[in-house]
Amino acid sequence: MPDLSAMLEHLPAFWGGFLVTAEISVLSIIGSFIVGLIVALMRVSEAKAARLFALCYVDVFRNIPFLVLIFFAYYGLPEVGVYIDAFWTGCLALSIAVGAYVTETLRAGIVNIDKGIIEVAKSFGFGRIKLYTKIILPIAITSSIRPLGSVFINLILTTSILSAITLGELTSASKIIASTTFRPFEVYVFLVIFYGALTFALSALIATWHKHLNRYNEV
Amino acid sequence: MIEIKDLHKNFDDLEVLKGVDLTIRPAEVISILGGSGSGKSTMLRCINGLEEISSGSVVVDGLDVTKKDELKAVRKKCATVFQQFDLYPHLKVIENITLAPVQVLGVSKTDATNKARALLESVGLGDKADVYPAQLSGGQKQRVGICRALAVGPDYILLDEVTSSLDPEMTAEVLEILKNLANDGMTMISVTHEIEFAREISNRIVFLDQGKILCDLPTADFFSADGGMADPRIAKFLSKMGTGS
Ligand SMILES: Nc1ncnc2c1ncn2[C@@H]1O[C@H](COP(=O)(O)OP(=O)(O)OP(=O)(O)O)[C@@H](O)[C@H]1O
Ligand SMILES: [Mg+2]
């Protein structure tokens, strides 16, 4: 018979893994947003080289399995003298890989802005930097907030793949508990609950933020 | 003074402006009439560099719009009001008006806000300062659009069919405001289909036909039987617009 109470004594171990997962998720969300923002700006830039680079970046990283990417970074790079520990390998790989999706999401938000609004700003003499910081990005981020939320929830779920490079995050912690207790059913029920808590918290945050940012669309 | 000389504008193979010459002096109010596709908007957009000119010249108070740094100065002198209002949706009414003064002209936030409030008051929208554009009617949006243009203290106001998206009642409230501006001595270049309005506010009427100026006459002459009306194309245009007595 499944017995969930048998898991109580392993809660500290779950909690340890949970904290690693939460930490890496938060850092990678910030990282992928920064990467995605920079590449999205290159993607819509007037410089051809920047646009080309951005396009290649997006295509490459949306077409590499994430597992292959982290194996390459964790096991492949040391061969050429680059050593990064599992935690930072995970953060970097997630930031770069998910950054490609953030790029496409933000780009859609930018190109969907009414051209008339941008022309008005130009006609008033806004330079490029102010045009982006005061008008284009605030509107683009507001309209992209929900799709960005989905991208980031996917990011949280993808962190479980980092168990493959020996990072002691939630999924590896659970595997260890399962192998010592021989109670995989109860262990994975708990695992689902922990991931659910993280993604639910993010969804709630996104929903609140969406509401706040979109206050101007309410009539 | 705005001096347009032999202005040509092509979009690829399509020649939209075929040598336009026009001079606009301070305090003049000029209405530009003409059929759809005759190049009215394009001409207006060439004045503040929203369209790159193909050949000829556009010079505003001695500043050449084809030179990048001079264009910047030109944009500070000319403010445009657009047909579709195009208010910044993410900013409150008051911020829509203060954004350019603060960010582009370096006016202090307090000064810009005070001026914006006064402008809103003058167009009867004193109570709308803190709402978002989505909460305004079309006529209210366009009045905000006019305030936004006035807030930068422009020497010239360019108007492109500013009432075309409005119903008659809202049109009247916007035209009233523009009329007052004209009376105050603002230099205005207005592309419009409102013939009666053009007649009432302008010193001069310019009629554009297929990318060329067909006539450029003082308003009274334009509407007289032996002036602009003598040209069959203009007479036809005016009768189609439901006026021309
Ligand atoms: N960006 C563009 N690319 C290609 N063609 C254009 C562009 N903008 C305008 N045109 C063309 O130039 C011609 C003149 O357009 P313009 O908008 O200046 O006319 P208009 O006189 O303002 O007409 P309307 O009264 O309908 O507003 C039209 O044939 C139009 O299709
Ligand atoms: Mg037009």
Helices B109-122/B93-103 angle, 10° precision: 130
Helices A184-213/A11-43 angle, 10° precision: 40
Residue A17 located in a structural domain: yes
**Which of B75, B86, B92 is closest, CB to CB, to A125?**
B75
**Which of B50, B103, B132 is closest, CB to CB, to A216?**
B132
End-to-end CA distance of chain A: 56
Separation of CA B34 and ligand 2 centre (Å): 10
- From B7, B8, B14, B165, mutation site for ligand 1 pocket: most ligand atoms within 8 A of C-beta: B14
User: A97-139: per-residue pLDDT in tens?
Assistant: 999 999 999 999 999 999 999 999 999 999 999 999 999 999 9
Q: What is the pLDDT of residue B207?
A: 95
Helices A184-213/A170-181 angle, 10° precision: 160
Residue A154 located in a structural domain: yes
Q: Residue whose CA is closest, atom 2 of ligand 1? A: B11
Q: What is the pLDDT of residue B186?
A: 94
Interface contact B100-A215, CB threshold 8 A? no
Instruction: Report, as an integer, the average pLDDT of A8-14.
Output: 90
**Which of B76, B82, B132 is closest, CB to CB, to A120?**
B82
Residue A219 located in a structural domain: no
In short, whether B13's Cβ falls inside 6 Å of ligand 1 is no
In short, whether B14's Cβ falls inside 6 Å of ligand 1 is yes
Residue A2 located in a structural domain: no
The residues on B that touch A, with CB distances below 8 Å, are: 48, 50, 72, 75-76, 78-80, 82, 84, 86-92, 99-100, 103-104, 132-135, 152
Separation of CA A91 and ligand 1 centre (Å): 51
Integer-rounded Cα radius of gyration of chain A:
21
Q: Residue whose CA is closest, atom 18 of ligand 1? A: B39
Instruction: Report, as an integer, the average pLDDT of A83-110.
Output: 96
CB A193 within 8 A of CB A173: no
In short, whether B171's Cβ falls inside 6 Å of ligand 1 is no
Residue A64 located in a structural domain: yes
Separation of CA B9 and ligand 2 centre (Å): 15
Separation of CA A116 and ligand 1 centre (Å): 15
Residue A72 located in a structural domain: yes
Q: Residue whose CA is closest, atom 26 of ligand 1? A: B36
CB B164 within 8 A of CB B81: no
Q: What is the pLDDT of residue B244?
A: 45
Contact pairs from chain A to chain B, CB under 8 Å: 66
Residue A33 located in a structural domain: yes
Q: Determine which of B81, B88, B140 to mutate to test the interface with A (most A C-beta atoms within 10 Å).
A: B88
Interface contact B72-A125, CB threshold 8 A? yes
Q: How many alpha carbons lie under 13 Å from residue A165 in its C-beta half-sphere?
A: 23
In short, whether B96's Cβ falls inside 6 Å of ligand 1 is no
Q: What is the pLDDT of residue B2?
A: 96
Separation of CA B35 and ligand 1 centre (Å): 11
Q: Residue whose CA is closest, atom 13 of ligand 1? A: B37
Q: What is the pLDDT of residue B243?
A: 57
Closest B-chain CA to A116 = B86
Q: Residue whose CA is closest, atom 6 of ligand 1? A: B11
Do strands B14-24 and B2-11 pair parallel, antiparallel, or not at all (unpaired)? antiparallel
Q: Which domain holds residue A20?
A: 13-214
Q: Determine which of A112, A114, A120, A131 to mutate to test the interface with B (most B C-beta atoms within 10 Å).
A: A120
User: A142-188: per-residue pLDDT in tens?
Assistant: 999 999 999 999 999 999 999 999 899 999 999 999 999 999 999 99
Number of domains in chain A: 1
Interface contact B79-A130, CB threshold 8 A? no
Tell which residue, A148, A157, A150, A141, has the closest CA to residue A198: A157
Q: Which helix (H) or strand (E) holds B213?
A: strand B212-218
In CATH terms, the fold of domain B2-86+154-240 is: Rossmann fold (3.40.50)
Q: Which residues of chain B have pLDDT under 50?
A: 244-245
User: A20-79: per-residue pLDDT in tens?
Assistant: 999 999 999 999 999 999 999 999 999 999 999 999 999 999 999 999 999 999 999 999
Residue A124 located in a structural domain: yes
What are the Cα distances from residue B239, in Å, to A109, B129, B230, B232, B242? Answer: 46, 42, 13, 10, 5
CB B60 within 8 A of CB B69: no
Report the CATH number at residue A181: 1.10.3720.10
**Which of B50, B87, B91 is closest, CB to CB, to A119?**
B50
**Which of A121, A124, A142 is closest, CB to CB, to B90?**
A142
